[in-house]
């Protein structure tokens, strides 16, 4: 009963936040809606007894990535924050529609045939420990690829943020 | 929905969220019946330690902050993997140690690249 109520609240947070991200006129508000959506996903993790993932969702997604997005909005041109007059869709909307629909249909096609096992009891083993073992044994290559990905993100950020010609108007 | 199970230790967090949100919402809601609402210009000016504001709050920040933020996130994410690794490395032994050294070495490639490119310098 209480769990169903939590589930409904979390679903409202996740979906409502997601709709808010794409429908909000103010880019800054979109980023705040994204935090709401992330929070709902963190609630799902708690309901799935994945406490470690819930904490990571809160600390990394909300605490770091959402804040980075807010930063990125503040780095951008001033009109991006108040783009009430601009259209919310760009020129590629008709290309984007079939791509988004195709992605949706293929995801549904993957999700539906899978038999999702439901356990009546809580997992007894330490999930984080299992996660660590899985990273270091059966998911070794993805684990190392993550490191490469992070390195690429770092190098990409350095490339992007290096200014050959610093703009005239700039804060310290 | 019978398969859903909520561990009891999360009930404290739930209570915390409900009380935290409730306190903020209820006090603001009750407060609006008692507080006076007479705004004038000085009241609506943004408070900056007693000084009048000199600039618009919506200004462009330097992109250097972005680099610092990305650096933080990269090592934040690394910490997740370090945490799950630290719980099991005594069981997996030398193998896990070498794995983590490779992981960190790959990360350090990006770090030293940024270092050499002067990304850590905060020149004005």
Q: Provide the 3-class DSSP secondary structure of residue A44.
A: helix
The domain locations on chain B are 63-116
Contact A133 B91 (CB under 8 A): yes
Domain around A68: 1-81
CATH number at residue A7: 1.20.120.1200
Residues 6 or more apart whose Cβ sits within 8 Å of residue A60: B73, B76, B77, B80
Rounded CA-CA distance B37/B15 in Å is 33
What is the structure's pLDDT at B2?
46
pLDDT tens-digit series, residues A100-123? 999 999 999 999 998 888 777 766
Distance from CA of B34 to the nearest CA of A (A): 30
* Residues A9 and A75 both lie in one domain: yes
A117-165: per-residue pLDDT in tens? 877 776 667 788 888 888 888 888 988 898 999 999 888 888 877 765 4
Do residues A76 and B58 lie in contact, with contact meaning Cβ atoms separated by under 8 Å? Answer: no
Residue B100 pLDDT > 50, yes or no? yes
Alpha-carbon distance of B8 to A157, in angstroms, equals 42
- The rounded mean pLDDT for chain A is 83
Note whether residue A68 is domain-resident.
yes
Alpha-carbon distance B105 to B118, whole Å? 20
Virtual torsion, Cα B75, B78, B83, B86, nearest 10 deg: -110
The rounded distance, in Å, linking the Cα atoms of B13 and A53 is 15
Structure-token match 């993100």, residue found: A153
Q: What is the pLDDT of residues A48-75, one digit of tens each?
A: 888 889 999 998 899 888 988 888 887 7
Whether residue A96 lies inside any domain: the answer is: no
What does the alpha-carbon distance between residue B69 and residue A63 come to, in Å, rounded to a whole number? 11
The total of other beta-carbon atoms located within 10 Å of residue A46's CB is 20
pLDDT at residue A87 greater than cutoff 90: no
Q: What percent of chain B has pLDDT over 90?
A: 15
- Nearest Cα neighbor of A45 from A36, A56, A34 is A56
- Residues A17, A77 share a domain: yes
Q: Is residue A94 part of a domain?
A: no
Distance from CA of A64 to the nearest CA of B (A): 6
Cβ within 8 Å, pair A154-B87:
no
Cβ–Cβ below 8 Å for B5 and A64: no
In whole angstroms, how far apart are CA A31 and each of A34, A129, B2?
A: 5, 33, 35
- Say yes or no: A75 and A130 in one domain: no
d(CA B35, CA B46): 20
Judged by CB atoms closer than 8 Å, whether chains meet at B63 and A71 is answered as: no
* Cβ neighbours of residue A57 closer than 8 Å, sequence gap 6 or more: A38, A41, A42, A45
Within this chain, do residues A16 and A68 fall inside the same structural domain, yes or no? yes
- Is the ipTM higher than 0.90? The answer is no
Q: What does the pLDDT read at residue A21?
A: 92
- Judge whether residue B55 has pLDDT over 90: no
In a domain, A140, yes or no: yes
B53 Cβ partners below 8 Å, 6+ apart?
B45, B46
Q: In sequence order, what are the residues at sequence separation of 6 or more whose Cβ sits closer than 8 angstroms to the Cβ of residue A16?
A: A33, A36, A37
pLDDT of residue B1: 43
Q: Residue B12 above 70 pLDDT?
A: yes
Count of the separate structural domains present in chain A: 2
Nearest in space to A75 (alpha carbons), one of B121, B119, B70, B64: B64
Q: Which of A74, A129, A147 sits opposite B103 (nearest CB)?
A: A147
Q: How far apart are CA A89 and CA B55, in angstroms?
A: 32
- Per-residue pLDDT band for A3 (boundaries 50, 70, 90) equals confident
Kindly list the residues from chain A whose CB atom is less than 8 angstroms away from the CB atom of residue B82: none
Q: Which has the closest alpha carbon to A13: B27, B7, A32?
A: A32
Residue pointed to by tokens 């507080």: B35
Q: Of A49, A81, A113, which marks where a domain is finished?
A: A81
A80 has pLDDT over 60: no
pLDDT computed for residue A171 by the predictor: 47
For residue B6, what pLDDT is reported?
Answer: 62
């Amino acid at each position: 009963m209480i769990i169903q109520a939590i589930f409904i609240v979390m679903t409202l947070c996740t979906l409502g936040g997601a709709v808010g991200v794409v429908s909000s006129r103010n880019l800054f508000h979109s980023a705040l809606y994204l935090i709401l959506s992330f929070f709902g996903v963190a609630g799902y993790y708690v309901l799935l007894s994945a406490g470690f993932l819930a904490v990571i969702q809160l600390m990394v997604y909300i605490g770091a990535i959402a804040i980075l997005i807010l930063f990125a909005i503040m780095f951008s041109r001033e009109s991006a924050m108040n783009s009430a007059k601009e259209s919310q869709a760009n020129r590629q909307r008709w290309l984007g529609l079939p791509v988004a629909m195709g992605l949706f249909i293929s995801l549904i096609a993957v999700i539906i045939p899978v038999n999702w096992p439901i356990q009546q009891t809580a997992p007894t083993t330490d999930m984080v420990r299992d996660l660590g073992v899985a990273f270091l044994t059966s998911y070794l290559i993805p684990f190392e690829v993550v490191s490469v990905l992070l390195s690429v993100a770092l190098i990409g950020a350095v490339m992007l943020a290096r200014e050959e010609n610093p703009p005239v108007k700039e804060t310290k | 929905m019978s398969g859903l199970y909520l561990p009891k230790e999360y009930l404290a967090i739930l209570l915390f969220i409900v009380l935290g949100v409730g306190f903020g919402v209820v006090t603001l809601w009750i407060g609006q019946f008692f507080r006076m609402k007479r705004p004038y210009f000085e009241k609506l000016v943004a408070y900056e330690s007693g000084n009048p504001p000199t600039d618009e709050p919506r200004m462009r920040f330097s992109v250097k902050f972005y680099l610092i933020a990305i650096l933080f996130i990269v090592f934040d994410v690394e910490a997740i993997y370090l945490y799950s690794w630290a719980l099991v490395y005594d069981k997996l032994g030398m193998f896990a140690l070498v794995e983590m050294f490779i992981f960190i070495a790959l990360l350090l490639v990006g770090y030293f690249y940024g270092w050499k490119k002067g990304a850590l310098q905060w020149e004005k």
